[in-house]
Amino acid sequence: MKIRIGGRGSQLSLVQLDLVAAALADRADVEIVSFRTTGDRLSRLDAAMTGKDLFTREIDEALLDGRVDVAVHSLKDVPSQLPLGLVLAAVPVREDPSDVLVSREASSFAGLPAGSRVGTSSPRRRAQILLSRPDLEVTDARGNVDTRIRRLREGNWDALVLARAGLARLGRLDDVTEVLPPSWMLPAIGQGALAIVTRREDDPVRELVEKLDHLASHREVLAERALLGQLEAGCRAPVAGLARTDGKRLRLTAAVFASDGSRTLHEEGKARPKSQRSWGSASPAVCWLAGPRRS
């Protein structure tokens, strides 16, 4: 079988496409097709006015019209509702979803001097940094990982906060100063996970990529995405969530932040899955966390 897998043309996305292609190589003849998405074209000003599918839209459209057979996304970029006709066929083993500090001089987040400039493009990270350290200055940081770290070394910032998963896939964990624990730096919905998407009715391709699925990772991200859907939040909203399998139960931790870190809502819930993948709609834990009393 020959299949075409599509994704963004960024360095990290191409690494992720190569990982999926290598995993499928013994079962199919794989061709990689890269796309420049709306999110890739946005200016800094436009980036503040984001929608919910800026880094996935063009790839999903190519999947729907048959130009590719599989789409590979960073799951944190995927809207809570996929376009009609597409299905999340597989979630491979999830990387550590933690955020990390990359610092020029300080040996830890706590060790950053007051007034230090910390770079991030994420409203969620910004809110949590200011919640913990209102004495820091949080400034915008865009570009790919290499660009941001190079600009850090040039003195644009004193530190960066990035996703550990991206650095791991790029082989750049040596740049990490400190892994920030989810107990206070709660990650983005789906952070560290890959989404492998196919057409719902394309049974041969869907069954092929389902062999790459990791059940625990899939369950966890479906619970997180159900929370995102309940809150009707986009991928750049200051919302965080992390689901973890705890024995036969799933524990979901969630938080919503004021953009300046001045206020936060934080809660946890547990639920037991009813079937192999029963988190596609809102689970009891999600409903409890995102219900009217938490709005």
**10-19, 146-155, 173-182, 244-253, range with the lowest pLDDT:** 244-253
In a shared domain, residues 84 and 207: yes
Residue 29 lies in a domain: yes
**Tens digit of pLDDT for each residue in 250-293?**
999 999 999 888 888 988 988 876 655 544 444 544 444 544 33
Q: How far is CA 29 from CA 7, 14, 22, 24, 69, in A?
A: 17, 17, 10, 8, 12
Final residue before a domain boundary, out of 129, 159, 180: 180
In a shared domain, residues 108 and 201: no
Residue 295 lies in a domain: no
In a shared domain, residues 28 and 149: no
**Tens digit of pLDDT for each residue in 117-134?**
999 989 999 999 999 999
Cα–Cα distance for residue pair 59/19, rounded to 1 Å: 18
In a shared domain, residues 110 and 221: no
Q: How far is CA 200 from CA 11, 81, 82, in A?
A: 28, 14, 11
SS3 category, 96: coil
In a shared domain, residues 208 and 263: yes
In a shared domain, residues 158 and 263: no
In a shared domain, residues 145 and 248: no
In a shared domain, residues 114 and 91: no
Residue 154 lies in a domain: yes
List the catalytic residue out of 53, 69, 77, 99.
77
* 77 part of the active site: yes
| DSSP for 14-55, written as a single string | HHHHHHHHHHHTTTSEEEEEEE--HHHH--HHHHTS--S-TT
Which H or E run includes 137? strand 137-139
Which H or E run includes 252? strand 249-257
Residue that wins the pLDDT comparison between 83 and 235: 83
Q: How many structural domains compose the chain?
A: 2
In a shared domain, residues 194 and 257: yes
Q: What angle do CA 139, 141, 142 make, to 5 degrees?
A: 150
Q: Which residue range is the domain that position 107 belongs to? A: 99-180
The predicted model gives 148-170 an average pLDDT of 97
- Say if residue 144's pLDDT is above 50: yes
The CATH number covering residue 7 comes to 3.40.190.10
pTM, rounded to two decimals: 0.88
SS3 category, 174: helix
The predicted model gives 168-176 an average pLDDT of 97
Q: Which pLDDT belongs to residue 116?
A: 98
DSSP lists the bridge partners of residue 30 as 3
In a shared domain, residues 81 and 200: yes
Final residue before a domain boundary, out of 180, 204, 229: 180
